[in-house]
Amino acid sequence: MGKSNNSSAEELILGGWDWKETVITSEIVYPPNDRITQQSAGYTEHRRFLPDGQVKFYRDGKLIGTYPYRIGPKSDRRSGFEYYQLWIGEECSGLRITSETLIIGYGGVFGLCGTDNVFVKAK
């Protein structure tokens, strides 16, 4: 990925991320404010974002897919606070990131109803 306005997010996202939980804020899928964790799901998930614009998906330590990704522009139109767009393949989600936490989705963190997948930086 080349340098862009999103260079901070592009640098922060590189490396491994372990799935911590999915927070559901939509009554359509589950009761609102429900959480799915590794313990309740019965499996682990991991994402590895590479500098070449590929992300590898792992479940229980096994590679299950590799997809292109890109980070789009910042936006605050929908929720009133800032987030990036994250494209994985053809799907777009919201992205909030710090050096230790990665949140992908369009749920409560983004001021919307849906799901937020929360990852922590792999050690």
Cβ atoms 82, 76 nearer than 8 A: yes
CA distance 54 to 45: 17
Report pLDDT for 70.
Answer: 96
**Per-residue pLDDT tens digits for 34-44:** 888 999 999 99
DSSP string of 85-100, one letter each residue: EEEETTEEEEEEE-SS
The pTM of the full predicted model, rounded to 2 decimals, is 0.83
pLDDT digit string (tens) for 92-111?
A: 888 989 899 999 987 655 55
The domains located in the chain, with CATH, are 7-121 (2.40.128)
